[in-house]
């Protein structure tokens, strides 16, 4: 049990850029670390708000006209969106990728169990000062139907 807790990294996703954070986490998962991410809704997507929302609208509109049941699932909850981005960076058809995905936990907000934990921040994945064109993942998800918690 002690060895497992030493191999756990707690990440506060606040003010981290979505793709940069995801690539760091995917690499840690493949190295065998257990990663727990909190404040998933505070993750940032860079770009103009209008173009980011337009891209998400196109992405969420992808449907199968032939067989609607076979339409890909698109989530609008921030924790599921972040988990899906990380999932896309893992070789999930191979055992090591599937095992890596099982070691990932993503939460909206900070659960009571993790309030007294020291959180890691990836400096090169943080939103750079002076970046005006960005939008929170929470705002995107609310725009497309997430009720919030």
Its pTM stands at 0.86
Given this model, what pLDDT does residue 97 score? 95
Q: What percentage of the chain has pLDDT greater than the value 90?
A: 64
Residue 32 has pLDDT above 90, yes or no: yes
Q: What is the average per-residue pLDDT within 80-88?
A: 95
Output phi, psi for 119, to 5 deg. Answer: -100, 145
Ordered by where they begin, the domains of the chain are: 2-143 (3.90.1180.10)
Alpha helix ranges (H) inside 8-136: 18-30, 49-60, 78-87, 95-102
Q: Residue with structure tokens 């309030």?
A: 115
Better-predicted residue by pLDDT, 55 or 96: 96
């Amino acid at each position: 049990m002690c060895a497992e807790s030493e191999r756990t990294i707690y990440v506060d996703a606040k003010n981290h850029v979505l793709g940069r954070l995801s690539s760091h986490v995917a690499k840690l998962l493949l190295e065998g670390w257990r990663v727990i991410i909190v404040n998933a809704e505070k993750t940032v997507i860079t770009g103009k708000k209008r173009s980011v929302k337009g891209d998400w609208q196109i992405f969420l509109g992808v449907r199968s006209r032939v067989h609607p049941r076979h339409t890909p699932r698109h989530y609008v909850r921030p924790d599921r969106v972040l988990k899906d981005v990380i999932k896309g960076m893992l070789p999930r058809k191979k055992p090591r990728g599937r095992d890596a995905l099982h070691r990932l936990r993503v939460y909206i907000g900070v659960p009571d169990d993790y309030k007294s934990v020291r959180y890691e921040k990836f400096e090169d994945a943080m939103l750079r000062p002076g970046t005006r064109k960005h939008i929170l993942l929470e705002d995107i998800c609310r725009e497309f139907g997430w009720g919030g918690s």
